[in-house]
A and B are shown apart, each in its own frame.
Chain A
Amino acid sequence: MMTLFFLTGILVLTYAMLVCHRIPALIQNFRLQSLFLFLVTLDFAVRHREAKVFVVAGLLLLVKVILIPSFLSRLVKKIKVDERLGLFLNPLLSLISALFLTWGASVFCSWFLYTRQTAVFAAFVVSITVVLVGFFIMVFRMKALSQIVGLLVMENGIFLLASVMAGGMPFFVEIAIAFDVFVCAIITGIFMYRINKVFTHIEVHRLTDLKG
């Protein structure tokens, strides 16, 4: 029951990302989503009393709830760009698209999954939805920052899948992935800083020097 509650929370927060107009809102939303992801993992750890999963949950809290969002917020303040995200698709249309993405995810999951457990099926659908919405944010928002957040959201979706199914992947893999996500956020952040420096904006659709 608890799991379903968390899943719903994550789904709602994922949809909420699509109505964000401003960069700080998107980052805070991501922070909240990561917090729910942390809760899912913690829930699993408490129920199964697995020390390693506690560590993974702690790592999740540190990296995705605290470090990455703070780093991104600080970076955005530092480069002083226009805080509007720049929507190619307005919030309502984005939401409707997200509903269709969820429907697509459930069709896809029922195609290859023969489970009777509602929780597992729901976890699959929510995870795939989160991945798809992350991708949607990357494509339909103008700023470089939204691509970073979109990528992190996609990764959150996959983390969720692994957590709900089996309390996460093998311990050392989980640690390595957390490290990797952190490094990825830092490096993309640095590149966003450089883009702003060379182009004096961070709008990805205006990066069109290279073609063909």
Chain B
Amino acid sequence: MNEMTMRFLSRLENESFARTSIVAFLMPLNPSVEEVMEIKTMVAEALTNAMIHGYEGKGDGWIDVSVSYDETHTIDITIQDQGCGIENIALAMQPLYTTKQHLERSGMGMTIMSSFADDFHVESSLGNGCIVRLRKQLHEQTENALQ
């Protein structure tokens, strides 16, 4: 029903830009305050993973984001990098697991995405980047929401 794509460098300042832009794109659906916070948080987790883990803090990698929604208010968000990839996705999914404890990472990013999304998939292998797919079903809020 509606779709947009974005491409930006893996610079830390772009994380705020991206999560704000995604939420702005979804405003016609009239999401609740809680839904907005959940979307912003799960997007931030995926972007931070791409920047800190995928590109290992270097700001010269590209991150591709696509967002779409349909008439049932189902939102699909895909966040893709061409970084170093994840060797063991099951291990990375474990709460509190992190390879970057020295950077004060909490290891909760995957758990948060899994909790806030209705559907959550990670596709990755070592050296081949990472694709995160997030689906969220919005609840209809008011008569002002898109029909």
A pairs with B: no
Residues of chain B touching chain A, judged by Cβ–Cβ distance below 8 Å, are none
Identify the A interface with B (CB < 8 A).
none
